[in-house]
Amino acid sequence: MIEGFNNFEVDSDQQQTTTNGVEGSLSFTDLFTSEFMQLNTQFDSIEELLSAGGFVINSEEDYEAIPDEDIDAHVAKTTKFDSWKELLTNAIETTFTLKN
């Protein structure tokens, strides 16, 4: 498991169009459930997906430092999505659909 991964959060207000104005934060592990990952990727967890791509995320700064083109290429190769943003948006939509 990536150190500190459970404490890392994604601000859902960054994805306003997908959350219908709902604001707040979700941890990566809450957002990318094992069920979501198994249905949409080659991996059982978001930690496995990121580790397989060589991405080390222990903080928000680590997350923000990943070049978009690098993570997009990894996501396109290993998931059913074409980009990280598409993967993230789908995970947010899935999470909020399940909670409502």
Query: Who wins on pLDDT, 82 or 7?
Result: 82
Domain count, the chain: 1
Domain, as residue range, for 84: 5-99
Closest CA to 97 of 43, 41, 22: 22
pLDDT of residue 34: 94
- Residues 22-80: tens digit of each pLDDT: 455 678 888 999 999 999 999 999 999 999 999 998 888 998 999 999 999 999 999 99
Query: Who wins on pLDDT, 90 or 16?
Result: 90
pLDDT of residue 10: 56
The angle formed by the CA atoms of residues 14, 55 and 30, to the nearest 5 degrees, is 50
Please name the residue that has the structure tokens 């939509």. 93
pLDDT of residue 60: 85
d(C-alpha 18, C-alpha 26), whole Å: 14
DSSP state of 3: T
| Neighbour tally for 61: CB within 10 Å | 8
pLDDT of residue 35: 94
